Structure 1
Amino acid sequence: MACPHVSGIIAVLKSLHPGWSPAALKSAIMTTATSYDNNGMPIQANGRVQKIADPFDYGAGFVNPNMAADPGLVYDINPSDYLNFFNCMGGLGSGDNCTTARGSLSDLNLPSIAIPNLRTFQVAAKRTVTNVGQVNAVYKAFLQPPAGVEMAVEPPVLVFSKERRVQSFRVTFKATRKVQGDYRFGSLAWHDGGSHWVRIPIAVRIVIEEVYSKIS
């Protein structure tokens, strides 16, 4: 979607939810987007060679403003999370040195997951969701693993209440095929059994030899 379209949708969402952060608004748009067109067919990439589009072409997909107004769950981020992403969780001290230990780059709480160097061993990414829908809600995880990759979510079910609006989970990835290749795509969706499908895109690249990963 073009920036003017998304900016207008963000303005409407902000009027509906004035307390939401920019990250929450972005999450609402991304997690409710669809990877299918108005005819129910997969989105096509408008390149020189016709192909079915992937998340590198469309991001999370086509924006659905009505669904974004009631996303169910959001992936929120605060400024300290960005400092963590840039390996300076506590900010800069004297001499521009980080005041705390480095954080994991894969754990920035974005509504997407990218693993660029998955080897045969297991890699994990942590995410945190905030319930902005019905107070007492139960969400179950639905996985669509990338080809050649085994995915698991712990816990597989999130139970929310008035006292527990924020919950974290961990997604693990394990290569099942020892094949050096390009990125493969999948998704993770949380469903409450009703109208809320909170989906994020996933991109994983299996790496066997590091030298090849730099030129593939």
Structure 2
Amino acid sequence: MGDCANATEELIRGKVLVCQGFNQLLSLNNSGAIGGVFVANVTESLLEELIQILLPAIFITTEDGKNVENYLRNHPAAKGSLEFGLTSFDLSPAPTLASYSSRGPSHSCPFVLKPDIVGPGSLILAAWPSNIKPKENGFNLLSGTSMSCPHLAGVAALIKKAHPEWSPAAIRSAMMTTADSLDLSNQPIKDAGKSERTSTAFGIGAGHVNPNKALDPGLVYDAGAIDYVNLLCGMNFTAKQIRAITRSSTTNLCSAPTLDLNYPSFIALFSVNYSSSSSPNEVLEFTRTVTNVGKGTTSYRPTLTPLEGLSVKVVPNKLEFSSEGQKLQFKLTIENNHPVKKKPFVSSGYLRWTEDGGDHIVQSVIYQCRLIYPI
């Protein structure tokens, strides 16, 4: 038992290795060993590397490793075998945000809350064809949170099949406003990278995707190309830069610049230098348009969860739709009225539009943040 990285191929060929730590772990894939027992306290940050091991292996704690070491000292001719025994299901709490999942905010566009959503993609095994530098089994093998992307793209494809007339923005909205913000134990989704504390919107966005609910969201926040052009204008992109992005020769591109994109989430960015108790309270206004994609005649009423240090209002107090496809507008106002010395760096809550006598609840996350770098 020791540091397997320094062992010669002649010494380890045909053997079951007992290794201390994970030095040069992947180099053991083609070492000639037939198995491995790795002694170390595995943290989630190591799992993405460990999952790529082609060598049959198990991982034990340093405490259990002491028992193995003592046994091997007393039984130098010991033989070992590895056998697949159990797959665990129904783990709780689930889902949990992976420690290495990307976090917000978006440094290029902090006015739009990112990430949008999380999906089931941590430690998913992904392979690609054998004609691209294959491993011994004919496929390359990698794992990581990148597999959330094809999972979420697959959900989007299913929604597009069910609703071919919907735009990409409408599909994104359907996924976001129906996402789950609670885990299977009915508690807020935890963050494995922060000692299982409650995850923030900079970690999970709207929450964990719920494909079945996303097929029937009730209302959607739609957006078209011109909405994104107006956002670029609001971010002070030059006309040349915008034309390079849009591939358009139109000269009057910035007739209505805005940072208030019709998005299914809200981020309240308050001034970093808000430090005087005599300063007036900061007020932010968001205007949104929702499209009825449910039944023709229906109505929705808003509810707001309390946000620490903020006064939040929405008008009107009811949205009444008379037909499918109808669009209605509302305004969300957020006022920062927290005492300066006690103001939180972040706080979050939700705006929920609940259908009268129906099953639809259209949920949007609201996140307050004071950025520590200039916008």
1:110 aligns with 2:263: yes
For the residues of structure 2 that align with 1:145 and 1:129, how far apart are their CA atoms?
Answer: 23
For the residues of structure 1 that align with 2:352 and 2:153, how far apart are their CA atoms?
Answer: 25
Which residue type is aligned with residue 348 of structure 2?
F
Cα deviation, residue 149, structure 1: 0.2
Name the CA shift for 1:130/1:43 in 2 (closer, same or farther; >3 Å): same
1:204 aligns with 2:368: yes
1:167 aligns with 2:310: no
Cα deviation, residue 8, structure 1: 1.0
For the residues of structure 2 that align with 1:115 and 1:155, how far apart are their CA atoms?
Answer: 20
Between Structure 1 and Structure 2, which shows a larger proportion of strand residues?
1
For the residues of structure 2 that align with 1:149 and 1:182, how far apart are their CA atoms?
Answer: 12
Secondary structure of the residue aligned to 1:87 is helix
For the residues of structure 2 that align with 1:158 and 1:22, how far apart are their CA atoms?
Answer: 24
* Contact 1:154–1:170 (8 Å) recurs in 2: yes
For the residues of structure 1 that align with 2:324 and 2:305, how far apart are their CA atoms?
Answer: 31
Cα deviation, residue 99, structure 1: 4.5
Counterpart position of 2:184:
38
Identity %: 37
Q: Specify which of 172, 188, 207 is matched with residue 61 of structure 1.
A: 207
For the residues of structure 2 that align with 1:101 and 1:110, how far apart are their CA atoms?
Answer: 20
Which residue type is aligned with residue 19 of structure 1?
E
1:184 aligns with 2:326: no
Length-normalised TM-score, structure 2: 0.51
Name the CA shift for 1:139/1:13 in 2 (closer, same or farther; >3 Å): same
Cα deviation, residue 38, structure 1: 1.9
* Contact 2:313–2:332 (8 Å) recurs in 1: yes
Stretch moving more, 10-19 or 156-165: 156-165
Name the CA shift for 1:49/1:21 in 2 (closer, same or farther; >3 Å): same
Indicate the structure whose relative CO is greater, using CA pairs within 8 Å and at least 6 residues apart: 1
For the residues of structure 2 that align with 1:112 and 1:100, how far apart are their CA atoms?
Answer: 24
Cα deviation, residue 213, structure 1: 4.3
Cα deviation, residue 92, structure 1: 3.8
Report runs of 4+ in structure 1 exceeding 2 Å deviation: 96-104, 178-181, 212-215
Counterpart position of 2:296:
135
Q: Which runs of 5+ in 1 are unaligned?
A: 207-211
Q: Which runs of 5+ in 2 are unaligned?
A: 1-118, 120-147, 244-250, 275-280
Name the CA shift for 1:48/1:115 in 2 (closer, same or farther; >3 Å): closer
